[in-house]
Structure 1
Amino acid sequence: MKHLLPYCFFFLPIVLPAQTVISLKIDGAINPVVADYIRDGIQKAKEEKATCLLIHLNTPGGLLQSTRIIVSSMLESPVPVIVYVAPGGAHAGSAGAFITLAAHVAAMAPGTNIGAAHPVSFQPSTDSIMNAKGTNDAAAFIRAIAEKRNRNVQWAEDAVRNSVSITEKEALQKGVIDLIAFHEEDLLDQVHGKQVELVATTVTLHTKDARIVPYSMSFIERILNVLSDPSIAYIMMLLGLYGIMFELYNPGAILPGVIGIISLILSFYSMHTLPINYAGLALIIFAIILFILEIKITSHGVLGIGAVVSLLLGSLMLIRSQSSLEFVRISRIVIIAFTVTTTLFFLFVVGMGLRAQRAKVVTGLEGLVGAIAYALDILDPAGTVMFQGEVWNAVSLTGRIDKGDKVRVREMRNLTLYVERTEA
């Protein structure tokens, strides 16, 4: 026994070191930034030789293309991936259901749900054949995921075709998820010792008392994630158009142009990551043109009404979902607020400013023309007049003018006013 004791101590270091778990949190729509974040998290877990990657998920859905990238990264991951729908009240809607099913271990917290989360669409219905193709493609995609992870294939397809959504208890009963965990530590204790199948091997999870290392988005990723929100992209685009337009109206103002170009470039980034309907974009630009014409042309409100209708329709049509499963839309509150604000701004504020520019000049030589003065003596034709508290030499252009009569200034030459008789 004494001879075996040194060998026991030799093997102890293999067991003693605590395992590492890389933890990610996704709270919002699925977009290209989130796809890169998860892919980087998998790479981080591989470099740290972590026992697994833990993804806290709470999402209403998102872009189907980004979901495909995430699922592909998870299926090919060299480290086990655990998806935990949490905290209580969270849900894995639409794209979130794909991601949860693709995990090596799928878990949910009490009070959560999973399933389709179709957004209400205010756009005209898409072509039925194209919509059916998209739905069939998504159904095949989720069936393949469920078969790969030995999960409920029938429910997975119903989640796509029939928009079914279930609670965490129903998900566990139907074989959609592997377990229910009250919190992160409870989850890691439950999966300890569980074997998961990777691409080329099978590994055993050692997660009991594991060290959890949070992995957050970088500052740039957080900014890009915010910009990928359709409502933010919409706001940045309008601010960009307004800024550039104001700079063209007032060359040299500089600030509106700088803000406008920056906003427009940022909106281009957002549109690059979103399914933009260019007909909607054209309607928004056309609305801005109509607002400008309404200010310059007397149309009795026709151009203004057309601009409001164009802006509203263009805003509703701006985001075109590639599939009915995608949760991508601009907030209706944002659309209505910007439509009303833009209408009031152009029709009142800018309109008043331009009308002020066209108002009669009241200073300088131009301000004298049409002004009223009073004859201090008889103008026949020359004499003097009182104008704005000052005595001026004056010449009558309309014959004799009696003392005290009211006259109107026609022009001024060589500090002499040329006036005409007006009504008393």
Structure 2
Amino acid sequence: MIDAWGAHRIFVSPVWMLVPLLFMLVGMPGSRSDAAEVPVSAPVVEAVRISGTINPAVAAFVTEQLDRVNREKPAAFLLELDTPGGLDLAMRQIVKAVLGSQVPVVVFVGPAGARAASAGALITLAADFAGMAPGTNIGAAHPVSIGGGRDNGDDVLMGKVVEDAAAYARSLAMRRGRNPVWAEKMVRDSVSIAAHEALQRQVVDLVAENRTELLRMLHGRTYRRGDEIRQLVCQDATVKFSGMDWRQKILNTISDPNVAYMLLLLGLLGIFFEISQPGVVLPGAVGAMALLLALFAFQTLPVNYVGMLLIVLALVLFVLEVKVTSFGMLTVGGLISMTFGSLMLFEHTEPFMRLSRAVIAGTAVVTAGFCLLVAWFVVRAQRRRVVSGQEGMAGLRGETLTEVYRDGQIFVRGEYWSAYADEPIPAGETVEVVRMAQGLRLEVRRPKPVHTVVNTHPMSGSDKENIP
């Protein structure tokens, strides 16, 4: 027979044994409640910013970043754009990379006040999704000859260039489902339109105030990759910007016309100093590097080689000013040649492809000051008394050690010299060197007497009384 305590013990013991088991079940990592609380990682959007001209350095940077993101597979690739245009070859390199990307490419013309002109307009047309900020514009994609701003020199050739660019813009717009008519007008008629008008004309897909609103509006939109329709997921995405490395920054900087111009002058001056003073090495090395960098930059710029030759002529005239007595006329000619050469060096309709007038004026002033400083040093050196060599002996004074006439010996500047004179000079007298003759013999003479100033005014009466 089981007593009451025994019955209670039999009933309670299994219950207490189940308590640890319940805790274990609740704490297991595979429980449904814990799985529901695991946060889902936010999508990542890789981004780069282009603010300036489209040149080979920028094209290499963008294509390199697109290659990287296609390996890492983020949600999208964002290209923030603010450009006045640039080189056609660099633009086509970026467009090829955009069209070949498996990751969706978003181009955003922003912030407010930015523009996607010329080459930037075609890059915008090539994107999977194109957006603009209010207060921005797109267009003016008419091709310009790299040799200058005038495109009427060869009508047939320029007509082919325009037709090619128009067909390219039209094909890009049709590939992305945008308005091909307006894309072609941007090329043929240099049409430029504002953000809201571009949205109405279906040149871009949307207008957003900022990057955050842009990604929110793009979330859920679809894009095509081959025969597959994909959906863009970018809600609350983390935007990671990448910048140029030091090498790309240097190449991008020297592509500026003003920087390339200064590198050209530095290179020519460095090589000139190395030729005029052989063995210094440093000016020649620096000049050669600067000249090579300038030549690299010139392949992306509309260089007029007549202007470059005028700059070289100016440097030649400056060198001749030091060698030839022209009373400053060669320097004036060099300044005129440098000014005209600088004005003609880069010819283009776009201001970002031309030299700054302030840079030209500053270079002319600095060059003129340098030439005047060199001329002043040369004149001062020519007027200074010679202190060494045969010419430096003339005018020195010494003492005769023996009688000097046809032959003799004197002591000058701590040394013993053989000397002769036109008249006998006894030993122990002071003599003046006339010149150094052949055989290291000195011609001497008695020093010229120092003339004293004599008062020729008549004495007054008081003065006469003071005379003893």
Instruction: Find the aligned partners of 2:126 and 2:351 in 1 and give their Cα distance.
Output: 18
Instruction: Find the aligned partners of 1:181 and 1:63 in 2 and give their Cα distance.
Output: 28
Name which of 348, 351, 360 aligns with 2:372.
Answer: 348
**Does structure 1 residue 100 correspond to structure 2 residue 135?**
no
Specify the alignment match of 1:116 in structure 2: 140
- The TM-score with structure 2 as length reference comes to 0.73
Q: How far 1:297 sits from its partner (Å)?
A: 2.3
Instruction: Find the aligned partners of 2:431 and 2:191 in 1 and give their Cα distance.
Output: 86
SS in 2 for 1:196: strand
Q: How far 1:375 sits from its partner (Å)?
A: 11
Specify the alignment match of 1:371 in structure 2: 395
Instruction: Find the aligned partners of 1:122 and 1:247 in 2 and give their Cα distance.
Output: 33
SS in 2 for 1:57: strand
**Does structure 1 residue 58 correspond to structure 2 residue 85?**
no
Greater C-alpha Rg: 2
The amino acid of 1:41's aligned partner reads Q
Q: Report 1:124-273 matches (<5 A).
A: 125=150, 127-129=153-155, 130-273=157-300
Instruction: Find the aligned partners of 1:282 and 1:181 in 2 and give their Cα distance.
Output: 50
The amino acid of 2:194's aligned partner reads T
**Does structure 1 residue 283 correspond to structure 2 residue 310?**
yes
- RMSD in angstroms over aligned alpha carbons? 4.2
Specify the alignment match of 1:72 in structure 2: 96
Q: Which deviates further from its counterpart, 142-151 or 81-90?
A: 142-151
**Does structure 1 residue 329 correspond to structure 2 residue 364?**
no
8 Å Cα contact 2:399/2:412 also seen in 1:
no
Task: Give CA deviations for 1:223-278 in whole Å, capped at 9, x if unaligned.
Answer: 22112222212211211111121122222323222322222232233234444443
Q: Which deviates further from its counterpart, 131-140 or 212-221?
A: 131-140
- The TM-score with structure 1 as length reference comes to 0.80
C-alpha spacing 1:409/1:326, structure 2 compared with 1 (3 Å)? closer
The amino acid of 1:223's aligned partner reads I
C-alpha spacing 1:124/1:305, structure 2 compared with 1 (3 Å)? farther
8 Å Cα contact 2:149/2:347 also seen in 1:
no
Q: Which deviates further from its counterpart, 185-194 or 97-106?
A: 97-106
Instruction: Find the aligned partners of 1:125 and 1:35 in 2 and give their Cα distance.
Output: 26
8 Å Cα contact 1:26/1:55 also seen in 2:
yes
Specify the alignment match of 2:67 in structure 1: 43
Instruction: Find the aligned partners of 2:203 and 2:158 in 1 and give their Cα distance.
Output: 26
Q: Report 1:79-90 matches (<5 A).
A: 79-90=103-114
Q: How far 1:417 sits from its partner (Å)?
A: 4.1
SS in 1 for 2:353: coil
8 Å Cα contact 1:381/1:396 also seen in 2:
yes
8 Å Cα contact 1:408/1:419 also seen in 2:
yes
8 Å Cα contact 1:280/1:313 also seen in 2:
yes
8 Å Cα contact 2:148/2:302 also seen in 1:
no
SS in 1 for 2:81: strand
Q: How far 1:383 sits from its partner (Å)?
A: 10
Q: How far 1:36 sits from its partner (Å)?
A: 1.4
8 Å Cα contact 1:61/1:327 also seen in 2:
no
Instruction: Find the aligned partners of 2:381 and 2:36 in 1 and give their Cα distance.
Output: 87
Q: How far 1:105 sits from its partner (Å)?
A: 1.0
Percentage identity across aligned positions? 39
Specify the alignment match of 2:460 in structure 1: none
Task: Give CA deviations for 1:117-147 in whole Å, capped at 9, x if unaligned.
Answer: 899x996845151444433433333233223
Instruction: Find the aligned partners of 1:206 and 1:80 in 2 and give their Cα distance.
Output: 10
Gaps of 5+ in 2: 1-29, 450-468
Instruction: Find the aligned partners of 2:380 and 2:439 in 1 and give their Cα distance.
Output: 30
